[in-house]
Amino acid sequence: MIILHDFKINIEDYEAKGKENDFPLLENCPKCRSLAQGNVHRNGYYWRYGINEESEWYIPICRFRCLICKVTISILPSFLIPYFQHTVDTMVGRLSKILNGEEVKGSRQQLAQHLNRFYERIHWIHSFFIDLGYKLGFSKDIKKEAQKYVIMIQDFGESPSFVRRSWGHLSSYFMGKLILPYLSSKKNNSHPT
């Protein structure tokens, strides 16, 4: 499972710190809730790429493993989106540009895939804002809706905060395809904020 963690630094600084980043400690297992001390162990790292406007970064993702239920837990920096290489800001910025007819560099095919995913997830984004108490309609013009929500996400504050706040809404996450059965949700307070 994935826990999103705000390291309060950008990807460039995170890469520079590497394994010396200030990784959180897990006191209990977010899946089986084992409270017995010492059951959740550090379990090395995996390495992945992250892409922003400036460059491509290669960074370690810290892992934990629960000795009781055997789940592996990854601590994903909140500037990233699970299973995407682009950072949150870069992803949202690129979506905003293409929706406004501006030039976006990089693979056209990949951009189309990201836009399609965003379209697929528009109703989920809509329902998150409704849950927060926003009074919003939803028209049949999907592009218009996408333009509206990309602005709302950008206006939500630093866009990682949108991803963090919406994390676990309807057991899913921003740009997520599958519902994750063991995704930690805000409601049970099982991940560090």
DSSP notation for 73-108: EEEEETTB-TT-SBBHHHHHHHHHHHHTT----S-H
For the segment 38-67, give every residue that binds Zn ion (CB under 5 A): 66
CB of 29 to Zn ion, least distance (A): 3
Under rule CB under 5 A, how many of the chain's residues touch Zn ion? 7
- Nearer residue to Zn ion within complex by CB, 8 or 70: 70
Q: According to CB under 5 A, which residues from 105 to 144 bind Zn ion?
A: none
By CB under 5 A, residue 26 contacts Zn ion: no
Among 23, 24, 32, 170, binds Zn ion (CB under 5 A): 32
> CB neighbours of 94 closer than 8 A, spacing ≥ 6?
86, 104, 106, 111, 114
Candidates 36, 68, 130, 136; binder of Zn ion (CB under 5 A) is: 68
Determine whether 109 is exposed, middle or buried from the number of CB atoms within 10 Å of its CB (0-12, 13-18, 19+): exposed
Residue numbers of the site for Zn ion (CB under 5 A)?
A: 29, 31-32, 34, 66, 68-69
